[in-house]
């Protein structure tokens, strides 16, 4: 029997639309993988999160750090879109646009669109974020203080300011004055912080609205038109599955849904438009900020990984906590995202470690479990159950085929594939775009 071929409404062969998600606590290297996949896509869409996320890319020896704009912008003839599921700091967005233009990378409205439904981070969101963390003291979440959470709160409370409001002075002023009555009361009376004046904020945001107006559009229609014309779309998430507001290590989570299903709501498309879901797996595990981390290494091996992997947050500069690969975390992500392929990143960092370990389950008060408990109290009773593996010493940054990897590196990858039940799609062996092994069949 011949394989079924997909056609769109115009009868052309349907290209695969791909969602890229992190499978751990973020910082898995999604930016590089998105950059690689963009070569075969036409549009790249960011569908959730805010500028608390950071993607670092190295292209031709030059480093680029993105917080809002999809990393696909580095390809000259690709279109990038920022979805309605993203909360946007217009200051940061304009700074990225100017920075890229100064670097010789054109970021015109022909190359970048911002959803008119995306919610805008305001100064009072950042002020509240910082004030709350300050009063929590040792019980803090570890937020970046970028105002992400408070902005999502206003979105759900139906008091948020959207990108389209920046283009309507009367609407923006009315919402701003109404919101600041409540926010200033909280800031001054509850948190003991300074009040925020309406006029300076209004003037600044109207000016930024004028600059952003050419970029603001209905990206749902733009995506739909692209798919119907046979174009391939790549959907890029921020953070990682275990920072998901519903499915992560709550309350030590982000304020949105980084899981693959969020691509639909965060971009304005239906689930039948998605074809593949690629999960990014760092070859070890890292976490920034507070929250449980069972395989964390507070020893010389953890320090070795942290230093060799240059594990500092692209957004905050904070050191990342480092530990062994945790299959309980990864397998939960396989289920939650419906992964069809895995991209392994930073495999090269493990070179030089004599004995490697992978966590295959948790010993929870004498009971062996293979799913992360929802209760943090129960999770605190758990200890990782490890399988030990032989390491390798060879530099693998120049390897471009799986069969050319050292035997123990291949065994490590085979263990990941066999344990998760998901085939490998990409293996990254260095920070550069070219330092990658592309598995046959990824097109």
Cβ-contact 241, 48 below 8 angstroms: no
Is the pLDDT reported for residue 56 higher than 80?
A: no
Could you tell me what percent of the chain has a pLDDT over 90?
A: 78
Sign (positive/negative) of CA torsion 332, 337, 338, 341?
A: negative
Report the run of H or E that residue 342 belongs to, with start and end: strand 341-345
Question: What is the per-residue pLDDT for 74?
Answer: 87
Question: What is the per-residue pLDDT for 440?
Answer: 65
Is the pLDDT reported for residue 8 higher than 90?
A: no
Confidence of residue 318 (pLDDT cuts 50, 70, 90): confident
Question: What is the per-residue pLDDT for 51?
Answer: 87
Please provide residue 242's backbone torsions phi and psi, each rounded to the nearest 5 degrees.
Answer: -85, 10
Question: What is the per-residue pLDDT for 391?
Answer: 97
Q: Is 110 a catalytic residue?
A: no
**Residue 399 and residue 419: Cα distance in Å, rounded?**
24
Q: Running DSSP on this structure, what letter comes out for residue 187?
A: I
In degrees, to the nearest 5, what angle opens at C-alpha 338 toward C-alphas 332 and 342? 80
Tens of pLDDT, residue by residue over 96-122, are 999 999 888 899 999 999 999 999 999
Could you tell me what percent of the chain has a pLDDT over 70?
A: 91
Cβ-contact 25, 288 below 8 angstroms: yes
Peptide bond into 251 cis (omega under 30): yes
**Residue 443 and residue 37: Cα distance in Å, rounded?**
9
Is the pLDDT reported for residue 9 higher than 50?
A: no
Q: What are the tokens at 239?
A: 């953070």
Buried/exposed code over 239-248 (b: 16+ C-beta within 10 A; e: otherwise): bbbbbbbebb
Question: What is the per-residue pLDDT for 338?
Answer: 98
Confidence of residue 72 (pLDDT cuts 50, 70, 90): confident
Q: What are the tokens at 65?
A: 């750090």
**Stretch 210-221: mean pLDDT, rounded?**
98
35 or 218: which leads in pLDDT? 218
Q: Is 242 a catalytic residue?
A: no
Is the pLDDT reported for residue 443 higher than 50?
A: no
Instruction: Out of 6, 35, 42, 55, pick the active-site residue.
Output: 55
Question: 367-369 and 355-364: which strand pairing?
Answer: antiparallel
- pTM score, two decimals? 0.90
48-52, 220-224, 325-329, range with the lowest pLDDT: 48-52
**Stretch 178-206: mean pLDDT, rounded?**
96
- Helix ranges, 365-440 (H): 376-380, 407-420
Domains of the chain: 18-116+218-438 (3.40.440.10), 119-215 (1.10.300.10)
74-88, 131-145, 371-385, range with the lowest pLDDT: 131-145
Question: What is the per-residue pLDDT for 377?
Answer: 96
Identify which of 44, 45, 73, 69 has the alpha carbon closest to the alpha carbon of residue 59. 73
Confidence of residue 136 (pLDDT cuts 50, 70, 90): confident
Question: What is the per-residue pLDDT for 7?
Answer: 35
Instruction: Out of 27, 244, 332, 348, pick the active-site residue.
Output: 27
Tens of pLDDT, residue by residue over 346-397, are 999 999 999 999 999 999 999 999 999 999 999 999 999 999 999 999 999 9
Q: Running DSSP on this structure, what letter comes out for residue 367?
A: E
From the number of C-beta atoms within 10 Å of its C-beta (0-12, 13-18, 19+), residue 408 rates as: middle
Is the pLDDT reported for residue 137 higher than 50?
A: yes
What average pLDDT does the chain have? 91
Sign (positive/negative) of CA torsion 168, 174, 177, 180?
A: negative
Confidence of residue 302 (pLDDT cuts 50, 70, 90): very high
Is the pLDDT reported for residue 142 higher than 70?
A: no
């Amino acid at each position: 029997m011949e394989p079924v071929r997909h056609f769109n409404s115009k009868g052309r062969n349907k290209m695969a639309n791909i969602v890229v998600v992190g499978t751990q606590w973020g910082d898995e290297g999604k930016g590089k993988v998105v950059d690689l996949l963009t070569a075969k896509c036409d549009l790249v869409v960011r569908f959730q999160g805010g500028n608390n996320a950071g993607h670092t890319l190295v292209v031709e020896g030059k480093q680029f750090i993105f917080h809002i704009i999809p990393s696909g912008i580095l390809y000259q003839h690709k279109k990038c879109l920022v979805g309605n599921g993203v909360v946007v700091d217009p200051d940061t967005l304009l700074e990225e646009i100017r920075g890229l233009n100064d670097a010789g990378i054109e970021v015109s409205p022909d190359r970048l669109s911002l959803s008119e439904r995306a919610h805008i981070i305001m100064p009072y969101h950042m002020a509240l974020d910082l004030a709350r963390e300050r009063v929590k003291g040792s019980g803090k979440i570890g937020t970046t203080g970028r105002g992400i959470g408070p902005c999502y709160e206003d979105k759900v409370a139906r008091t948020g300011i959207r990108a389209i409001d920046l283009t309507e002075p009367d609407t923006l002023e009315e919402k701003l004055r109404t919101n600041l009555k409540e926010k200033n009361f909280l800031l001054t009376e509850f948190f003991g912080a300074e009040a925020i004046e309406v006029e300076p904020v209004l003037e600044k945001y109207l000016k930024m609205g004028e600059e952003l107006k050419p970029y603001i559009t209905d990206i749902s229609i733009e995506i739909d038109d692209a798919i119907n014309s046979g174009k391939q779309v790549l959907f890029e998430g921020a953070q990682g599955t275990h920072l998901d507001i519903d499915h992560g290590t709550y309350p030590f989570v982000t304020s949105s849904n980084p899981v693959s299903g969020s691509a639909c709501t965060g971009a304005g498309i239906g689930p039948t438009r998605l074809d593949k879901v690629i999960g990014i797996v760092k070859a070890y595990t890292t976490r920034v900020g507070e929250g449980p981390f069972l395989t964390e290494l507070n020893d010389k091996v953890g320090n070795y990984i942290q230093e060799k992997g240059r594990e500092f947050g692209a957004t905050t500069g904070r050191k990342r906590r480092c530990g062994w690969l945790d299959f309980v975390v990864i397998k939960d992500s396989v289920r939650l995202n419906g992964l069809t392929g895995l991209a392994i990143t930073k495999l090269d960092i493990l070179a030089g470690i004599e004995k490697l370990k992978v966590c295959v389950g948790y010993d929870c008060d004498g009971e062996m479990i293979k799913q992360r408990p929802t209760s943090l109290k129960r999770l605190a009773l758990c200890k990782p159950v490890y399988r030990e593996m032989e390491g390798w010493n060879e530099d693998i940054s120049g390897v471009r085929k799986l069969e050319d990897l050292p035997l123990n590196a291949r065994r490590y990858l085979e263990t990941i594939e066999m344990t998760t039940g998901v085939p490998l799609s990409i293996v990254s062996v260095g920070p550069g775009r070219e330092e990658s092994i592309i598995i046959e069949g990824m097109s």
